[in-house]
Chains A and B, each alone.
Chain A
Amino acid sequence: MTPQPQSTSAQTSDLLPGFDHTAFDSNAVFRALLDAMSRPGRIYDLPVAVSAPDGLNKAATATLLAMADMDTTIWLSPSCVTKAAGDHLKFHCGCPISTDVKQADFAIARISDDLSFVTDLAIGNAEYPDQSATLILMVDEISDQPSMTLKGPGIKDTHSLAVKGLPESFHAWRAENHHLFPCGVDVIFASETQIAALSRTTRIEVN
């Protein structure tokens, strides 16, 4: 009865393990993501221990293990593309990995990458705004320092968030993205051990 992971050419012996307990760990990571997306800017600790392949960090890996499968297309920024990351995702998630960013359901990049690809991410359309990509941005540090002030659904009054190394261009894109509502891209910040999210509804004031 147990579904077999997608077979690939990868050597099983080289592979890092996925979740210890598929059902429980997926649920715990999803709950953190659901909380994070429902309460933009709040920081949540990664609730499980996972191994990250070269090219990805732990929170990004856990997010993909919990959310990606044969029905989702992954795009990895050039700095994340490693054989280990590709093998890991193909084996544990069975997800197709595309080099066309427009196809991505989940796009994964590092904050230090050239982020110009974000304007090519799917934003959905007016009738189906859910047909949009989610950007998983791997970062070094997330904190509640007041470098950004967030407002919008999920936020009681305002909320503070700081993401180390967030470039100016990101904010310009986010402002444009917010303007496209209900279309748009949602963002998950993933540090090694924490996650926080920005929903497309979130209004950001850069302090």
Chain B
Amino acid sequence: MEQTVKNPADGAPDYNFAYLDEQTKRMIRRALLKAVAIPGYQVPFAGREMPMPYGWGTGGVQVTAAVIGPNDTLKVIDQGADDTTNAVSIRQFFAKTAQVATTEKTAEASIIQTRHRIPEKELREDQVLVYQVPIPEPLRFLVPRETETRKMHALEEYGLMHVKLYEDISRHGHIATTYAYPVMVDDRYVMDPSPTPKFDNPKMNNMAALQLFGAGREKRIYALPPYTKVKSLDFEDHPFEVQTWEDKCGMCGARDSYLDEVILDDQGNRMFVCSDTDYCAERQEAGHRGPQHHDQPLGSADRGKAAE
């Protein structure tokens, strides 16, 4: 017996639980098992057309649809935020087609689908992080051809990637890659972490949660099992480093989170806020305050400090 969910559009036929038919889910599930068995290797899969456009998270959506069960609680973030339109749209899709519980709280989610960020809060063993990936191939911009990049992965031939990074150093004095910064997985495969800022790269290393990556248009799935060594590529004389800010979050005062810049007017005034909205909200609930918080007059001392 198949579980079906009434399509919200009247008169249309019913769809299977979590939209995909069981055969498609099995195909994706088989790819996922291979992906965790070969960490960082891109498993080709017969990605399906989804009811949202390619490039808008169809890979992540297919992975989530294959993984999600009726007892899961789903969180969806885009740019770290639960309330960005595409995150809302994907969350609604699963709320309708799988009728699962959804949450904005990182700690309450069993599956977190993300675009471009890893939550600031440390993830647990019982959580799965699903990344939406636009271009899974870390070598794509060096060599556009799949036939060649596949060979390079097979032969572990990553010299070109190191040359590219080193060219940055000789030209700019440092590596000029800020997001989608390539990583080496378990000393074997160079992997694209998806366009997360390099700030998030260290979180991937030895993460307790399972990390799954879905690229729908490019039809690739890859994975990082929990507690897998993930090292950002670097050089002895130019070690990998993450972004830092002189500012802190204007709302919660956090100094340890990834900050988005918000333009306040056309006079060059700006402020910074946490990109992870749940992290920021939780800190504010705990009494932390940043300089631009609404119960904090602009320019006054950081009351947040007292709370920290």
Contacts and interface: CB of A to CB of B under 8 A. Distances in A.
- Asked if A and B form a direct contact in the complex, defined as CB atoms under 8 angstroms apart, the reply is yes
Interface string A14-56: 0000001111101110110111011100000000000000000
User: How large, as a class, is the contact surface on chain A?
Assistant: 35 or more
Nearest to B23: A69
A91 to B, nearest CB: 15
A23 B3 contact: yes
Contact of A67 (B13, B16, B26, B68): B26
A194 interface: no
B29 A34 contact: yes
Given A23-B3, A153-B227, A200-B38, A134 B17 contact: no
In which size bucket is the chain B interface? Answer: 35 or more
Contact of B38 (A71, A134, A201): A201
Given A22-B22, A34-B32, A154-B227, 18 more contacts: A20-B1, A21-B3, A23-B2, A23-B18, A24-B70, A33-B33, A70-B23, A71-B26, A105-B30, A127-B150, A127-B151, A129-B38, A130-B41, A134-B33, A153-B229, A155-B227, A181-B38, A182-B189
B22 A23 contact: yes
Interface of B: 1-4, 13-14, 16-18, 21-23, 25-27, 29-39, 41, 43-44, 66-70, 150-151, 153-155, 186, 188-189, 210, 223-229
Contact of B37 (A105, A126, A201): A201
Interface string A57-77: 000000000111111100000
A3 B22 contact: yes
A1 B4 contact: yes
Nearest to A29: B29
A71 B45 CA distance: 13
Given A129-B38, A186-B37, A199-B36, A153 B27 contact: no
A153 B61 CA distance: 25
A126 B151 CA distance: 8
Contacts of A181: 38, 188
